[in-house]
Structure 1
């Protein structure tokens, strides 16, 4: 499943109960089922829920981590919004 989500839609999923979405390089990942498995603990994922976590992700991970988990966690991408 791959859908285009707005930043507002992603921001509404900012807790585990709401789905816990994060953005990494304009791709959206649903993390609610992964929170308890995350080797770095759940706290950091909960802190970046509903936000762009690219900076934090790349600080601690390399591309192989994304390749490993993307098939299971990626749900879509951030769609371009019209600028007025």
Structure 2
């Protein structure tokens, strides 16, 4: 079952101790258990923790990477937030 998160909730998971969530194209991924295995190093994941990392992700990855690993790490989606 997929959960809905606000961007504020994702931001609360900005480091390994809190779960290290990132957003890619509206989907939320928990990467705490992947940080040390990331081929590009842990530093970049820690830098984008709790944020929308779409731009950075697509700069270095193609769609095949997301299709292969996305389902394993996806924990939900970002829900629409009311704008005042």
Same fold (TM over 0.5): yes
Give the superposition deviation at 1:70: 1.0
Matching residue of 2:39? 39
Deviation per CA, 1:8-62, whole angstroms, max 9, x where unpaired? 0000000000000000001000000000110000000000000000000000000
1:30 aligned onto 2:30: yes
| TM-score, reference length from structure 1 | 0.98
- Structure 1 gap segments, 5+ residues each: none
Structure 2: where are the runs of 5+ without partners? Answer: none
Moved over 2 A (4+): none
Q: Which has the higher helix share?
A: 2
**Alignment size in residue pairs:** 84
Q: TM-score, normalised by structure 2?
A: 0.98
